[in-house]
Amino acid sequence: MCGIVGINSIEQIKVTDAVKRLKRLEYRGYDSFGYFDGKKLFKKIGQIIIPNIPDKSSIVIAHSRWATHGGVTQNNAHPHQSCDKKITIVHNGIIQNYQELKKDLATKGHSFIGETDSEVAAHYFEEKIKRKNIKEVCVDFIRDIKGEFALLVMIEGDENIYALRRDSPLVLGVAEGQNILASDIYAFSDITTKAIFFENDEFAIISSDKYAFYDKHGKKTDKKIQEFRWEQEESATENYEHFMIKEIMEEPKVARRLLMSLGAEQKENFRKFVNLIRDSRKITFVGAGTSYHASLLGVYYLHKCGIEAQTLIASEFEHFVGVDENTLVIALSQSGETMDVIEALKYAKGKDAKIASIVNVPYSTIQRMSEISLNICAGQEVCVAATKSFVNQVTLMLAIAKDFGFRITLDTIPDRIFEVLKQEEKIKDIAHSIYKHRDIYVLGRGLSYPVAREMALKIKEISYIHAEGMMGGELKHGTIALIEKGTPVIALISNSDYSMLSNAKEVEARGANVIKITNEMEGNIKINTSNDGKFGILATIVGQILTYFMALEKKLPIDKPRNLAKSVTVK
């Protein structure tokens, strides 16, 4: 989940330019950051701050950390160096056997200043390079290390950066006069559309004007430059206080962009995707977090069309689903690098299942694992909370369901979203009335159940309020015992759902402060949509705005909530 950047340039660059590239990846982790420019090692706890320095260098590696092994301390921040300071590394991933390696290195005289698994890599290279050349050491590292890594290595007196990858994302951007290594293309997508993607157990030697890739045996491999297209919004908040509200306000635009794409450049792929669903005996979605909730809506829509489908949370996929050669597994992931989803796909591939995906980042690992993939065209999300990517995932699900007979007018989605956004002040007032509460419950049925789950997730991760999204029918099987006078309960009532209305009355009778979000009945927030599935998108957007204003009232770090990162690339 950490962000790494490495630049090797023909001409010297400002070190601050490298840090700015790292800043573009800060959503991957912001516990601490650091850089090494061949002379100066800098590390700091906290979010990335562009230093006011004149320093220049032709070679820089940098890192933004999301802590896994070891606390948030300066010693645990990257880059890490060997005992003799001649080896400097940055690492994303988890070295599972680091304790055994550390113990062995300690017996050989190596001392460690931090608690991280990553520091072991610097000492490993220091020890091995005494007896072997660097290519041999890279081969040994890939053989000896258990776990995941995207690793950049600098060696004193050596003008190359050495890059190694297994399961953690790593890409080389080929730009004019420089080569840029990074965790994903957004680090350099503003200056080049040319990239080379590392496969598992590959390493590369990167100089300022050339590169060479090798497999795990040290055999040179041919790699093709990929021309990528990346829909991205400006990385500034513009007139908005936070990226989260800016990205929510972009939702009509990105939904319209996706719909246009499905009728143009993605038209052929969309047709193949739908046919693959039609030709498969079993359909199983897989996702994590917000993407899982989007897949729940997708299953609902397909079920209404008579298509049998199911969805599983990625981290538990292999424990609760059976797949075979007649199964189509459809992965949903904003980043395309979610480790739990990747592991689920590996399991499915091992059972000969077919793989398709719905992602936001082109040439991501999940897209490259798939037989066919559709892009949601949401553009870059800087805020950790997924907002516009969820909207486009569900819009795409509706487009797929429409092909199977689901009654939906897709073209009006952007306008209906805009109408929800115009209720911002009303939603803000509700946020002001409930933000001080410790617990919030969100109830849904059928179409609105996935919405309840997603709304509760947003409240938890951004507002730091315990929230439970649940099926309205399960309320009286335990949870209703927690309802007290004044407890906020958000009731999502789509269409004339009298069962859901009854659930709202049940908690209201016990003193709950019930907030109704409806499209046909009377409610606190009224959504303009008929019985065509749009409620799944529009009610969620109400939850996004509500969450934003609750967090704003609490003066929380909305775009970078504690303990979280945008791209979850570890298990």
Q: What is the pLDDT of residues 261-313, one digit of tens each?
A: 999 999 999 999 999 999 999 999 999 999 999 999 999 999 999 999 999 99
Position 570 confidence tier, pLDDT thresholds 50, 70, 90 = low
Residue 455, domain member (yes or no): yes
Q: What is the DSSP string of 528-544?
A: ---SSSTHHHHHHHHHH
- CB of 252 within 8 A of CB of 418? yes
Q: Are residues 336 and 215 in the same domain?
A: no
Structure tokens at 324: 């075979």
Structure tokens at 378: 């949401």
3-class secondary-structure state, position 226: strand
Residue 282 sits in a domain whose CATH number is 3.40.50.10490
Q: Are residues 25 and 68 in the same domain?
A: yes
pLDDT for the residue numbered 68? 83
DSSP β-ladder status, 87-92 and 80-81: antiparallel
Residue 79, preceding bond cis, omega within 30 degrees?
Answer: yes
Q: Which pLDDT tens digit goes with each residue over 64-95? A: 998 888 888 989 999 999 999 999 999 999 99
Which DSSP category does 55 fall into?
-
Q: Are residues 271 and 418 in the same domain?
A: yes
Q: Are residues 357 and 251 in the same domain?
A: yes
C-alpha–C-alpha distance, residues 328 and 276, integer Å: 8
- CB of 243 within 8 A of CB of 26? no
Catalytic hit among 2, 138, 377, 383: 2
Position 386 confidence tier, pLDDT thresholds 50, 70, 90 = very high
Query: Number of structural domains, the chain?
Result: 3
Count CB atoms within 10 A of the CB of residue 256.
Answer: 17
Residue 571, domain member (yes or no): no
Mean pLDDT for the stretch of residues 428-436: 97
pLDDT for the residue numbered 568? 62
Structure tokens at 509: 């009778």
Q: Are residues 286 and 345 in the same domain?
A: yes
pTM given for the model: 0.86
Q: For residue 9, is pLDDT > 90?
A: yes
Quote the percentage of the chain above a pLDDT of 70.
97
pLDDT for the residue numbered 144? 97
Residue 345, domain member (yes or no): yes
Position 395 confidence tier, pLDDT thresholds 50, 70, 90 = very high
Mean pLDDT for the stretch of residues 522-535: 90
Position 219 confidence tier, pLDDT thresholds 50, 70, 90 = very high
Range of the domain at 240: 233-422
Q: Are residues 47 and 187 in the same domain?
A: yes
Q: Which pLDDT tens digit goes with each residue over 329-385? A: 999 999 899 999 999 999 999 999 999 999 998 889 999 999 999 999 998 888 999
* Helices 134-144, 119-128: crossing angle, 10 deg rounding: 130
Catalytic hit among 23, 102, 534, 566: 566
Handedness of CA 400, 295, 150, 316 (dihedral sign): negative
C-alpha–C-alpha distance, residues 171 and 182, integer Å: 6
pLDDT for the residue numbered 177? 95
Given 181, 205, 227, the domain boundary residue is 227
C-alpha–C-alpha distance, residues 477 and 144, integer Å: 51
Q: Are residues 524 and 497 in the same domain?
A: yes
pLDDT for the residue numbered 108? 95
Given 207, 227, 247, the domain boundary residue is 227
Q: Are residues 174 and 270 in the same domain?
A: no
The question of whether 130 is a catalytic residue gets the answer no
pLDDT for the residue numbered 362? 84
Q: Are residues 493 and 404 in the same domain?
A: no
Q: Are residues 428 and 395 in the same domain?
A: no
Q: Are residues 242 and 135 in the same domain?
A: no
Q: For residue 468, is pLDDT > 80?
A: yes
In whole numbers, what is the pLDDT of the chain averaged over residues?
Answer: 93
Helices and strands, counts by H and E, the chain: 17, 25
Mean pLDDT for the stretch of residues 444-448: 94
Residue 376, domain member (yes or no): yes
C-alpha–C-alpha distance, residues 366 and 370, integer Å: 6
Residue 118 sits in a domain whose CATH number is 3.60.20.10
The question of whether 2 is a catalytic residue gets the answer yes
Q: Are residues 214 and 280 in the same domain?
A: no
Given 174, 201, 227, the domain boundary residue is 227
Q: Which pLDDT tens digit goes with each residue over 202-212? A: 999 999 999 99
